[in-house]
Structure 1
């Protein structure tokens, strides 16, 4: 009996230790992580770990703590809102500051150009006089078409290479005849001279003539500036320059200011649109805590619901078995004692006679005990 109670006591102590450890883990880890709001554990942790002071170096918002960050993360908010990063990077103030800097840049770009009171000149009077003198020169009356016509005509009235071939054929025809050998030799010498003249003189002249023709055509087109003559082209360009100077001196300052203002306003509007997009993305889209929350919940459920709670249930069941086993042992001991307690039978003794065939006479005495409501046969006495 002592051994049974000793072993049972040791088992009970082990079960108690496991039960206390499981209950402690459930109450101090799983329950606070499941519902951090109103948890004393989180309150005690937040008294030591001041998240606001760690992030911002100050203690200003009492509602900003680990519980608030965890709840915001479970609500699938962005990190910008969950960690209250607007206190470090206020995008609204950034937009206002950008608008102010753009306005300052616009004001700096407003220059007085062309300067009022001083007329702007593209061509100086000396340059105008030189252009007028160039227009009055004979270059504007240069007849390029005549040069081109002269260059396009043949350099010689006859083709020297053709004449050389004819002389060579005539010399070959006269050579067999008697008395014409010297004439044939002179004709062959003249043919060679004409061929050499065509190769060394006429052909290079034709090549240079073609190059001169291309240069004259290009010079004619360039000097005229798409006009009928160089003089007309110069006067046309001087007139255009005068009109440009007049426009810049009368409408130039306003035009420059308007262009500058339109450019600055357009760039400012694009910057504001971009900052609005960045602000909206940072507050609503970028860095959502949903995946992090799912990973956190999955880890917590795997540790608490899949491991800790079944373990606690198993050991609690064993603990109930041990707790019920102890009183059952006591009750069983009591029942065993009551079962084995003898009680004399109050009735008369009954003797039995053994048949004569037996070697000796045996007297059988039957004793009965009464336990509670039933009579049981206990012992047989053989005399």
Structure 2
């Protein structure tokens, strides 16, 4: 009996983690955070913080030392950037720190300019790459926050459907109890053909074999009688033909002798050989064996066999008639079993635990619905701020790029620094503008980076990383008593997640064997004991089968000992091998005709010819009448010998078989009925055992396969950590990247700006081919004067 497996709902709940370049960038951020925070998960510190017990602040500071060092560096950066930003313009306004609009001309000035240009270009590209990552990460955070609610709704929908599917699966299993009950009901309804058929098959193996052997003996005896009658009839017919032919031959022989005597002594012809050679006047007497066989055949043996077969065929009907009340009682018991199984389904229900979980879902849904708009609005504000911060960095990048573009385009190497073009001077101004923006906003960027670094970094190290390596579940197990919440013993978050990852059933995941004794609920005896008792009380009486009566057995023995297989047909066989006449009639007739032709007396010749014709008629009679009877007699004797050769042995075996079968029927029929009744009961119980085994398998392995629960955890981890936290970390990392590279950008921009800005005073060129320009303080062209040596 086959049962359909429990239907497993199809769930489409997948959140794909980042891949490609985004994953590489996130891995780089993770490596940096792992370097900043190499300490293991602070479960003890968190436990004390949650319980609000006394804890040592040094523990927290020790754990966060990596973050504190990084924040300290950030603070130093902010302070120095503010101080430098304040002093640097003041110094330049006073003509210091490269503030004088004068550039000394050297031989390597072009090489220096190109060197600074290339390095600033590379630094600008690096800042631009970080800025692009910041733009991208900032947008990803908004997308992640928006999609988080969709993923949350999908996850809750899947989990609610999953929770609702569990009672449906239990109901499905309970309803499948109709299959064994219907099977058993049909078997009870057809108890006559089924149980009676089983009894009939067992009894029939012995009875039919015996009856077949008796029928075969009866068939052989009937055939023997037929062949004996045929032998007797053939012999009688052969005797009549033999007497007629013998008389005719004798008459012809006398006439030939008289005719030949008429012509003596002129002619001589001998007819002494014209006599019968074969003699069929005697045959063995088998009238007594035939009478014995006929007595047995006429004893009503065929009626006895037919009655025995009918008794065998009536067994199913007999069982049907004798078990009507039993069948009705069993069908009533089957209805009771159905009610008990339905009660079993309600007893192993875990609706109370599942409803507790659904209450948490309802509370969570209310909280999410209440705060969704606020979260999205605040995220929009965050997105605006992020765009502004990215635009600040982009402003510096644009200034640098304009400077890198305009400076070289308007610059001429042979042109005096005081006469540089407007385009070249604009390039230098752009460099200085970028430097100014860098000083103005670098501290702000670093401040934002520091705050986001603390939030995002700790989110990764305290939530995402331990979530990934399962340490978070271990910590939650110490804080949340899931066994008490679900009213189920020996369960925790770690075990549930591990089992659900393997898509185990709720029975195994929640250790429901400690709450429900499934063997007790599915104990087959509590359902079938009444059925078993009812069937065992049933009384079935099968009419005993009689194979042969004592009189028939006696007549059968007489027929077996009648000697029919010992009849001697040797004499007849020898006679049938002889010629019919001593001389060959054809040859004799031919000789007689030759002799007649030699006789001169016409009347004698005519008589001899007539006598020859009479011999031809006798030969024709032998061929057409006597010879066929001989063949027929020979065939009948052969058949009789063959069929009666083993007749005595066959009859003795049949008698022994009937005796054994009769003893079997007289002594074993009650045991057969009892055994087959037990087999019928076992067949009924197997229906229920098969159902119980299937129900155990479904409940322990298939009901509530909790793969969706693990998938929900995975989706939550992917959305929270991979989409939100990683995007947040990527954002501050990108901004920090850009901010740190503002330092070399400032230095290179300030240095490179002087190579493109228009100077207020000129320096001489060191090229000997270029003219020398005098300044107001130059002493080159003074008239030499004599001076006294000391």
**TM-score under structure 1 normalisation?**
0.48
Structure with the higher strand share, 1 or 2: 1
TM-score normalized by structure 2?
Answer: 0.28
